[in-house]
Amino acid sequence: MTDRVTEYAQSVVDGRVPYCGRLHILACRRHLRDLKRQRTEAFPYYWDVEAADKILDFAETLTIGEGFEKKPVKLIGSQVFDLGCTFGWLKTADNRRRFRRRYKSEARQNGKSFENGIMGSYISAFSGYREGKLFTVATKRRQAKIVWDEIRKFIESDEDLSAFFTVKEYKTTISAVNTGCTIEALSKEAGLDDGFRGIFASVDELHQHKDGSIYQALWKGTRSLPETLLSVITTRGKNPRSYCKELDRFCVSILEGTVSAEDFFVDIFCPDKGDDIYDINNALKANPLYVGRPDKIEALQIEAVTAKNMGGTERVDYIVKSVNLWPNGDDANYVNADDLHECLTEKDLEAFRGKDCWIGLDLSSGGDLTSWAAEFEDDKKLYFHSHSYMPMGRMQEHIQSDIAPYDLWKQDGLITVTGGESSYKNDYKFIIRDLREMKEKYDLNIRAIGVDPHNADGFLDDLEELTPKVIIVTQSARNLNRATTDLKLSVREHNTEFNDRNELLVYSFENAVEIKNSFKEIKIDKRESMEGNRIDPIDACIDAHFCYLQDKGETPVNHDEVMTDYLTELGW
């Protein structure tokens, strides 16, 4: 007989569960896909129905004490899926839980804190871990106490469960007497900082966080632990330049399969692009707990009508809190994510043996990510291949500070790590070596190489070994507008291709936003909300496309403007 989690996932994918949005369907597909590749060298995890059932059985022995009378917990299908998946996937190497991070986003009052309360109660007393620390965390103490209170209410509503715990509400701490584990509510305003080694941390309403410091402080503290769970719960927020938006976007990429993060469980409930958000059938995609409950549906319908008629802040609140969307959050994106994914292909460099190509270089100034991209023509389409470099010292820093999985991209051959642990500056000789090897291996004719002069001192002579045509590409909107616009339109028309295994390149495209000068000329820039957001590979693609257009005679060159931009870059 099929287990409850898999049965639910299959029903969602088959269309037998109503009111499911695309992202939740993708979460279910991810589970079904992983079942087919479990216990393989490429996927060293396995599905343990018994481990999933333990958390589900535990949850449904709990009692809800709030209300006029006590009642037993009865999980809905999506809760069965999310809880069961989180605990049922294990590592083949040591039989520990696969998922160390968890992101769940849905509309308000759909039981997010309730679920984290279940997990906190279970892990503290019944996971087998002893003397562990568990935290419920938010920016404000009152918010941090919400999940803590869920755990307290479970304990105080059940005489059998209360025998396992001691509650000290004046300290906002709960102790599991059988394991010695403690559960504590922490907040930024109360001095939350580095140094926390939590086997479980509930991070509440991430959209309210000013930055990623709380998330990073908790995540860094888990590295030495054999098993941990950092569970982020939130609705989307009003600020599209927030840390929450960036983490949310990264998690969408996980569901869409463009980024690999096998330790990260993700489920997001919201309407789909193009849906009428005031239609109750679409609004229910963000509110799974409301399905089949006439009173809840009626209240949601009233909210929808009010928001539609009044507009303004009522509309924004409805979009964010009631249907879990970002208001106008993607207006500045350089390319549309759906268009980008349509451009992915299995094609690789082997398909371009003996062909012409144009190279673009993005050289980092601070020793961060440095990238080159090669552009090819193929049957009226453009194909881009890219590779990046990062010093070992910077790699170790960014694995801790950024969301991106640089260590996995290194394993996949997308990044070359240069130097040793104390190296913080890229050695450009690696670039020359790799370009020379690529040229010889695939018998390529490099028509031109484009490079930003800002960091190219002493490097131009080396490039001339590869091609006599080295083009200076200054990074101004005036200079880059033609290439930036043309590449954007090519992606929109699906006339551009990228290898589907190049997650770093796709990630950089998704990080890029469009900015304009006073003449409405455009260039790209990275998002401002967090430390990561590397866009170097796409910068290299645009530089390559600049060379392509100029070499083809499609970009007339004003040498006075180029010289002016170049001198400006040099600070003259």
**pLDDT for residue 184 is more than 70:** yes
8 A C-beta contact, residue 134 and residue 123: yes
Residue 276 lies in a domain: no
pTM of the model: 0.78
Domain tally for the chain?
2
Same-domain check for residues 68 and 181: yes
Same-domain check for residues 263 and 378: no
Residue 287 lies in a domain: no
8 A C-beta contact, residue 17 and residue 11: yes
Cα-based distances in Å from 238 to 215, 309, 403: 19, 20, 21
Domain ends where: 243, 269, 295?
A: 269
CATH number for the domain spanning 343: value is 3.30.420.240
| Tens digits of residue pLDDT in 442-454 | 999 999 999 987 7
**Dist CA 555 CA 562 (whole Å):** 13
- For residue 34, how many other CB atoms are within 10 A of its CB? 17
Token code pair at residue 16: 């037998």
What is the rounded average pLDDT of the residues 123-149? 89
**pLDDT for residue 381 is more than 80:** yes
DSSP H or E run through 105:
strand 101-105
Same-domain check for residues 188 and 78: yes
Predicted pLDDT of residue 401: 67
Residue 304 lies in a domain: no
Same-domain check for residues 52 and 185: yes
Same-domain check for residues 229 and 98: yes
Q: Residues of the chain with pLDDT > 90: what percent?
A: 58
Domain ends where: 244, 269, 294?
A: 269
Q: Which domain range does residue 355 map to?
A: 337-569
Domain ends where: 216, 244, 269?
A: 269
Residue 473 lies in a domain: yes
Same-domain check for residues 533 and 400: yes
Same-domain check for residues 429 and 525: yes
**Dist CA 84 CA 170 (whole Å):** 33
Same-domain check for residues 357 and 461: yes
| Tens digits of residue pLDDT in 331-351 | 568 888 778 888 999 999 999
Same-domain check for residues 233 and 341: no
Residue 286 lies in a domain: no
**Long-range pairs for 429-434: beta carbons < 8 A, 24 or more residues apart:** 429/462, 430/389, 431/361, 431/370, 431/372, 431/389, 432/462, 432/463, 432/465, 432/466, 434/372, 434/387
Same-domain check for residues 24 and 149: yes
Residue 284 lies in a domain: no
Mean pLDDT of the chain: 88
| Tens digits of residue pLDDT in 250-298 | 999 999 988 889 999 999 999 998 899 999 999 999 999 999 999 999 9
DSSP H or E run through 175:
strand 173-176
8 A C-beta contact, residue 296 and residue 287: yes
Predicted pLDDT of residue 258: 84
What is the rounded average pLDDT of the residues 395-410? 78
Residue 419 lies in a domain: yes
Predicted pLDDT of residue 111: 92
Residue 228 lies in a domain: yes
**pLDDT for residue 219 is more than 50:** yes
Of the ranges 90-94, 338-342, 481-485, which one carries the lowest mean pLDDT score? 338-342
Same-domain check for residues 390 and 519: yes
Predicted pLDDT of residue 555: 58
b/e 326-336 (16+ beta carbons within 10 angstroms → b):
bbebeeebbbe
Same-domain check for residues 365 and 256: no
Of the ranges 231-240, 268-277, 332-341, 483-492, which one carries the lowest mean pLDDT score? 332-341
CATH number for the domain spanning 114: value is 3.40.50.300
